[in-house]
Amino acid sequence: MTTIKFVVKVNRSGSRLPAYVLSMGSGPIQTTSNRKQALVMGKFAAEEAVDSFKNSRSIAELVTVRVTD
């Protein structure tokens, strides 16, 4: 069975490489440039991560990923 999960891609204004959300918690969100290490999450959590980048210079977007269970 395949399900659709999401990865949050972050484009920073001064950087050419995109970053992906690595971890979320009570502290600041950590990012990585390696997509394979990115945090795969459900839609609600991914939208929360995108909302947290609204007031920064970064542009965040959702990328869909198919996951087999």
What pLDDT does 32 receive?
A: 93
Report the largest interatomic distance among the alpha carbons of the chain, rounded to a whole angstrom: 40
Dihedral Cα 16, 52, 46, 43, nearest 10 deg = -140
Domain locations along the chain: 2-68
pTM of the model: 0.85
What pLDDT does 14 receive?
A: 76
What pLDDT does 16 receive?
A: 82
CA neighbor of 24 nearest in space, from 2, 4, 6, 1: 6
Q: What is the pLDDT of residues 15-68, one digit of tens each?
A: 788 999 999 888 888 999 999 999 999 999 999 999 988 888 889 999 999 998
